[in-house]
Structure 1
Amino acid sequence: MMTYATLASLRRTPQSEPIPGTVRNGAGGHAFAVDDWTRLARFLVLGSEGGSYYASPRALTVENAAAVQRCLAEDGLRAVAAIVAVSEGGRAPKQDPAIFALALAAAAPDLATRRAALQALPRVCRTGTHLFQFAEAVEAMRGWGRGLRRAVGAWYAVAPVEALAFQAIKYRARQGWTHRDLLRLAHPETEEPARRALFDWICRGRLAEEVPTIVHAFAQVQADGIDGAVAAALIRSHGLPWEALPTGLMKSRAVNEALIERMPVGALVRQLGRLTAAGALAPFSEGTEHVRTVLADRERLLKARLHPMALLLALKTYASGHGQRGQLAWEPVAAIVEALNAAFYTAFRAVEPTGRRLVLALDVSGSMAGSTVAGSGLTAREAAAAMALVTAASEERWQILGFTAEEGRPWNQGAALTPLAIGPSLRLDQAVAATADLPFGATDCSLPMRWALERGIEADAFVVYTDSETWAGPVHPVQALREYREKTGIRAKLVVVGLVSNGFSIADPADSGMLDVVGFDAAAPAVIADFLRG
């Protein structure tokens, strides 16, 4: 018999219908809206240039820019501090969102906010490429007033002159800007002969004796007819980066072996395929041993701010034996593949095990496969698998599940959970690839709690890796968690790892037992562990 209670309930509401505090998400279901500060954090780490399954890159970026501006209007100094913290902490895969947000801050109506943003310029824009990106972004927001010119001039006037010379030859032009363009806009003044000579070389091409020696070495290596042995000697004696070399020298084994010895960690990781193709990395070679030593050095990885996603992308590409673009191919060296796998876990902040019983649930739906992380070739679905493995690697009691289609039913009519035979014992790139073969179904983020309750499984926490575009199912995730708590007597927690910089979360912000964190923030696993410990 139909009753009013069967037609409307505050304890079991279909996700297609709202409950108090929820808004309509991109998939047509209902979730909680995150506040602007959470949206800022998501944008700084995840970016939006890849868009999402439900929003184009432009639409998602416009939404995020509006959220950044609201944060700047509410508390500009706090917003600038957040930008600097993510950038300096190496918490984001790419600097682009932080640079864009800093440009927005530099154009804010509030004078104190603009000043704070410009003072933070050298802390966020640490390389020539970063500075060029900032110039492109800030010019789209405001004019080149005195404060902006002074801030850019200080970038050139304060940096140690040898370091500045290195930047000048490593990053000569990006985003349509050159150092010559910025120096002519900023007009920095200096009494240092070497710095004055460097500015003169950048702007007019005059190579004076006072110019730092690395510039003289750059001029030598750019000369016609130079052979690999001479170039290798200049690399070793002056620390020339690979960007300073003519294309013709990049196939020289002697040159590549010299580069490996001095190459910064980030550049080394990005160049592994090319170095292997050139013969500089091979089984049991000195170059390979050097790479293994570098990747095993935790302090060096953290000091270099090498983000875990850079290592995951390098592992995925290097193990495949070919680049994502072009014709370059190589035979992967097994020792380097294993070193990259281990380094991925090392690059996250140290995590102490919590001892809790954890259900780790991966959203492998179509929307997760249609969204990318930080503009990379890594989908949100693959990122979910990688993030889950980081937690599993530090814990002893866990079960990894995937949201899949219910067997024998159309994808949009049935949703199910499938236990996944993946874990830290499986190589990271293989575990990530395994999620691509799962039959995705309708997104129902209440499933982990319902799954555990139906089977009598005692869990201390559910960690769901998702874009929060949940829309299917007979009950909202928060309602399913509350029912699990009531029927088991366990004060179970819910951690939502957001993997798209949209405005939704399945976590109720009013419930202290629920936490929303940004996926692929290098600090996220440690934050999750702290929350689970209470």
Structure 2
Amino acid sequence: MKWTKHYQTSRTPQNQPIPGSNQKANNAGGYAWEVSDWTQLDRFLILGSEGGTFYVGEQKLTIDNAEAVKRCIELDGIRTVNRIAEISESGRAPKNDPALFALAMCASFGNEQTRKAALEALPRVARIGTHLFHFMDFVQGFRGWGRGLRRAIGDWYNQKDVKALALLAVKYRQRDGWTHRDALRLAHPKAQSDAHQKLYRWITQDEFAPAQGLEIVDAFRQAQTAPLKEVVHLIEKYRLPREAIPTEFLTRPEVWEAMLPHMPLEAMVRNLANMTRIGLLTPMSESQRLVTQKLGNSEAILKARLHPIKVLAALKTYAAGHGMRGQGTSWTPVQQVVDALDAAFYTAFGSVTPTGKRMMLALDVSGSMEAGQIAGVPGLTPRVASAAMALVTAAVEAQHMITGFSAAGGGYGGQWGGGDPGMTPINISPRQRLDDVVRTVARIPMGGTDCSLPMRHALKEKIEVDAFVVYTDSETWYGKIHPAQALQQYRREMGIPAKLIVVGMVANRFSIADPKDAGMLDVVGFDTATPEVMGDFILQ
């Protein structure tokens, strides 16, 4: 009898745990390591749980992540609050909702010190009216309106400069069924100035009295009944935002032309299709020049904390020439704008230092990566988003190759029938536009998930690699050897102390990286800090 056929630590089928390890069954029937609650907290804060995954529905994925957040609160509530605030405040996540949800949990389930810290952190995480209303909606699902919560809401208003607060009042008037009137009537804040008191009176009783700092409120009130020419004048003079403009004027090019010079960068990116459709944004126009100039300003992009996911979502939609949900509205994309969005995607990650190392960037393009959405963006699956994420590294690393592990011979592989999964060279480059890259990756045939393939392929072909970077959901199950074992074999036979970086593309609890191996690292996909963290790890 060959005893090692049934028990060995150097080569174990992925549908069995490595002997002596603490691997757990993943959602696909394979075995992987569970990440810590702190790592899962990061994944949730950055990737969210909207849309679920291939194996786990949205409801269960949200519950799993909420329970991980709760365990973090029980382990160290102050650390949890600080992590939520840090990721939210630094703009590392594409959406703020997971941070607000987690902060509401801290304000509800933590001990006295944690609840106090969570409410004190509210202005750092809830920076605009929409954030505040989301938080109020979340927290009401967990607790009642005690004195501490009322005081925190009141302080949120009182601590803001009245001019900034007036802008928030006209721009974010209602979200999630909440209004500023609701918030102020619940909180009953004692106004810190006469101007604050007049603003609160206008919000709660619709009685306006002029005061320094409230000019935008008066302009908003005038705009509701003014003719088009006067509305344009009010926009130019008081910088009225889109939300303050009567709906009937939002199809007029002159209105958007007046807003464009002072429009916040994120709002501009979000409204590129609107400005193109109504005829304002055209090739070689002054509006096109202004838009591309703003998108080319790296300092402004970083200062605005414009997240690359939002740029990528805008690029996918704008370049397509129609909305993601159908052909109801359409426009002709301006090529210079498409190119500027492409460049802005890389800029939004900040400065990435090249390592000079040999890197294999391996994309999991299996069937499970085609389900769900990154940060709730329609059409942005982990499968296509991983290609965009890989190009951030490829753009600065001279020695790299991009591959995908997929099905064999153009058919479906592994579980889906038609042959074993295999490696596919992916001919994509940062010199291509991202929308072209996304289409290229979408055409790669899907197979069963075998995350050992990059290391096995490099060993078979004698490719010298210093770092394998695998973009995956870690739902690996198909191979005859675990990814960690394949890396160890590669190291032994090639004589290269290669490292493995696992880029988690969904907010589940699994990783193919052995936590006991110092040469393996877990990072979160689309965290803006990830490329630099990867570089530091590779150079260690």
Would you say same fold, with TM above 0.5? yes
Matched letter for residue 338 of structure 2: V
2:205 equivalent to 1:200: no
Alpha-carbon distance in 2 for matches of 1:449, 1:189:
64
Query: How far does residue 7 in structure 1 lie from its aligned partner after superposition?
Result: 2.7
Alpha-carbon distance in 2 for matches of 1:365, 1:115:
45
Matched letter for residue 524 of structure 1: T
2:220 equivalent to 1:218: yes
Matched letter for residue 387 of structure 2: A
Tell me how many residue pairs correspond in the alignment.
Answer: 531
TM-score, reference length from structure 2:
0.97
Q: Which 10-residue stretch deviates more, 403-412 or 447-456?
A: 403-412
Aligned to 1:312: 312
The structure-2 alpha-carbon separation of the partners of 1:191 and 1:311, relative to structure 1 and needing over 3 Å to count, comes to closer
Aligned to 2:500: 494
Matched letter for residue 243 of structure 1: E
Alpha-carbon distance in 2 for matches of 1:409, 1:131:
49
2:95 equivalent to 1:89: no
Aligned to 2:6: 7
> Is the 2:353–2:396 Cα contact (8 Å) retained in structure 1?
yes
> Is the 1:46–1:501 Cα contact (8 Å) retained in structure 2?
yes
- Percent identity reads 54
> Is the 2:412–2:445 Cα contact (8 Å) retained in structure 1?
no
> Is the 1:132–1:175 Cα contact (8 Å) retained in structure 2?
yes
> Is the 2:77–2:110 Cα contact (8 Å) retained in structure 1?
no
Query: How far does residue 410 in structure 1 lie from its aligned partner after superposition?
Result: 4.8
TM-score, reference length from structure 1:
0.98
Matched letter for residue 405 of structure 2: F
Deviations 1:303-328 (A, max 9, x none): 11110000000001000111224722
Deviations 1:422-471 (A, max 9, x none): 01011111102211111110100000000000001110010000000000
> Is the 1:256–1:278 Cα contact (8 Å) retained in structure 2?
no
> Is the 2:423–2:453 Cα contact (8 Å) retained in structure 1?
yes
Matched letter for residue 219 of structure 2: A
Alpha-carbon distance in 2 for matches of 1:410, 1:140:
44
Matched letter for residue 451 of structure 1: H
Deviations 1:24-64 (A, max 9, x none): 00000001100000000000000002211111111011110
Pick one of 401, 405, 408 that aligns with 2:407.
Answer: 405
> Is the 1:36–1:67 Cα contact (8 Å) retained in structure 2?
yes
Aligned to 1:17: 16
- The 3-state SS of whatever aligns with 1:394 is coil
Alpha-carbon distance in 2 for matches of 1:221, 1:57:
42
Report matched runs for 1:70-219 at 5 Å: 70-210=71-211, 212-219=214-221
Q: Which 10-residue stretch deviates more, 184-193 or 517-526?
A: 184-193
Aligned to 1:263: 263
Alpha-carbon distance in 2 for matches of 1:440, 1:410:
6
Query: How far does residue 72 in structure 1 lie from its aligned partner after superposition?
Result: 0.8
Query: How far does residue 239 in structure 1 lie from its aligned partner after superposition?
Result: 1.0
Aligned to 1:276: 276
Deviations 1:189-246 (A, max 9, x none): 12522111110111111121237010111011111xx333221111111111001111
Alpha-carbon distance in 2 for matches of 1:205, 1:162:
18
Deviations 1:372-404 (A, max 9, x none): 111111100111001000000010011100111
Pick one of 379, 382, 385 that aligns with 2:381.
Answer: 379
Query: How far does residue 8 in structure 1 lie from its aligned partner after superposition?
Result: 2.3
Aligned to 1:38: 39
Aligned to 1:530: 536
RMSD: 1.1
> Is the 2:94–2:308 Cα contact (8 Å) retained in structure 1?
yes
Pick one of 504, 509, 525 that aligns with 1:519.
Answer: 525
Query: How far does residue 179 in structure 1 lie from its aligned partner after superposition?
Result: 0.4
Query: How far does residue 409 in structure 1 lie from its aligned partner after superposition?
Result: 6.3
- The 3-state SS of whatever aligns with 1:374 is helix
Report matched runs for 1:479-490 at 5 Å: 479-490=485-496
Alpha-carbon distance in 1 for matches of 2:427, 2:411:
23
- The 3-state SS of whatever aligns with 1:317 is helix
2:402 equivalent to 1:430: no
Alpha-carbon distance in 2 for matches of 1:477, 1:459:
15
> Is the 1:218–1:240 Cα contact (8 Å) retained in structure 2?
yes
Matched letter for residue 498 of structure 1: G
Alpha-carbon distance in 2 for matches of 1:227, 1:395:
56
Matched letter for residue 221 of structure 1: A
Alpha-carbon distance in 2 for matches of 1:489, 1:335:
48
The structure-2 alpha-carbon separation of the partners of 1:81 and 1:109, relative to structure 1 and needing over 3 Å to count, comes to closer
Query: How far does residue 371 in structure 1 lie from its aligned partner after superposition?
Result: 2.1
Aligned to 2:475: 469
